[in-house]
């Protein structure tokens, strides 16, 4: 196997199952350093399971997963690797009884020896990084708009300075304007911090505006990985249905 430092995640021949229910079979995927990779697929196709398997929360029944050029085995100590990965889970909620600042401090308290005044300094820096005012740190999650709560979730995911960020349907529930602003935040963070981003989404606007490539989960595997403009030329029935009119127009142009 070639050790390429620009491949941040390499999944080979992955099989996952729950009892008799096979979710993935012969699934292969490479994620490149610094890219924003969109992950799309039908509801229940296994996008969240794939993310959770890469994160080590679900054990694969076959195949290999490499992250940062390290092969992840079942008895592998993930602590060091998990510190380099930030995650925003699907419907990932903030701790409702903690202030915004305390939410962002939580991973720092759990995983570092940082204490005051540095905890506050780091938390406020992350809150600023996601485009929120320092005063928001004192507010409770319930006082914030949906878009602000998503930003706080990103600030918390960035607390430990990860190199790799997973987002599972981050713009779901946001209005189109808040979703577009969120997308631009992710693009800016990726560009300025060199973050690699894996973003599960159904949001075509997000895919067109910020993804470098899009991986399609269908038929228990990744059936295509390419820039969204190339996906428009795909003959795969799910991709054609997903992209709908845009794909039809692309075909007309190319005839």
Ligand X SMILES: Nc1ncnc2c1ncn2[C@@H]1O[C@H](COP(=O)(O)OP(=O)(O)O)[C@@H](O)[C@H]1O
79 binds, among ligand X, Mg ion, none (CB under 5 to 8 A by kind): none
What residue ranges bind Mg ion (CB under 5 A)?
47-48, 90
Tell me the β-bridge partners of 7. 32
- Rounded to a whole number of angstroms, the minimum distance from the CB of residue 44 to Mg ion is 8
CB-CB contact of 215 with 205 (8 Å): no
Tokens of 70: 């390290």
User: 118-129 vs 146-157: helix axis angle to the nearest 10?
Assistant: 130
- Rounded to a whole number of angstroms, the minimum distance from the CB of residue 47 to ligand X is 3
23 binds, among Mg ion, ligand X, none (CB under 5 to 8 A by kind): ligand X
Tokens of 10: 């390499």
- Rounded to a whole number of angstroms, the minimum distance from the CB of residue 45 to ligand X is 4
Query: Binding of ligand X at residue 46 (CB under 6 A)?
Result: yes
Please report, as residue ranges, which positions from 229 to 248 form the binding site for ligand X (by CB under 6 A). none
- The interface mask with ligand X, positions 8-37, x = CB under 6 A, is ----------x----x--------------
CB-CB contact of 206 with 38 (8 Å): yes
CA angle 217, 220, 224 (to 5 degrees): 40
Please report, as residue ranges, which positions from 167 to 196 form the binding site for ligand X (by CB under 6 A). none
90: Cβ contacts below 8 Å, ≥ 6 apart: 48, 168, 169, 172, 200
Using CB under 6 A, which of 29, 49, 87, 247 touches ligand X?
A: 49
CA separation for the pair 157, 123 (Å, rounded): 11
**Closer CB to ligand X, 103 or 153, in the complex:** 153
Query: Binding of ligand X at residue 87 (CB under 6 A)?
Result: no
Query: Binding of ligand X at residue 41 (CB under 6 A)?
Result: yes
Strands 7-18 and 62-67, sheet pairing: antiparallel
- Rounded to a whole number of angstroms, the minimum distance from the CB of residue 54 to ligand X is 12
Residues of the shown chain interacting with ligand X in the complex, contacts defined by CB under 6 A: 18, 23, 41, 43-49
């Amino acid at each position: 196997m070639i050790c390429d430092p620009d491949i941040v995640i390499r999944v080979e021949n992955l099989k996952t199952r729950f009892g008799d229910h096979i979710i993935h079979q012969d699934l292969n995927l490479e994620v490149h350093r610094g890219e924003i990779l969109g992950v799309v697929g039908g509801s229940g196709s296994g996008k969240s399971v794939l993310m959770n398997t890469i994160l080590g929360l679900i054990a694969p029944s076959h195949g290999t997963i490499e992250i940062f050029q390290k092969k992840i085995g079942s008895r592998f100590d993930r602590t060091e690797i998990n510190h380099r990965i930030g995650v925003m889970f699907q419907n990932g909620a903030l701790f409702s009884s903690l202030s915004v600042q305390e939410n962002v401090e939580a991973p720092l308290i759990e995983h570092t020896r940082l204490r005051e005044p540095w905890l506050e300094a780091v938390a406020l820096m992350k809150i600023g990084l996601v485009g929120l005012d320092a005063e928001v740190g004192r507010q409770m999650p319930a006082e914030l708009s949906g878009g602000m709560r998503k930003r706080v979730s990103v600030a918390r995911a960035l607390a430990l300075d990860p190199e790799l960020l997973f987002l599972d349907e981050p713009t779901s529930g946001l209005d189109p304007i808040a979703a577009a602003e969120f997308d631009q935040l992710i693009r800016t963070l990726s560009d300025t911090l060199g973050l690699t981003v894996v973003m599960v989404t159904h949001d075509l606007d997000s895919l067109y505006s910020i993804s470098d490539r899009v991986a399609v989960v269908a038929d228990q595997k990744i059936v295509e990985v390419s820039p969204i403009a190339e996906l428009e030329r795909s003959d795969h029935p799910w991709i054609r249905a997903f992209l709908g009119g845009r794909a039809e127009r692309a075909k007309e142009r190319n005839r």
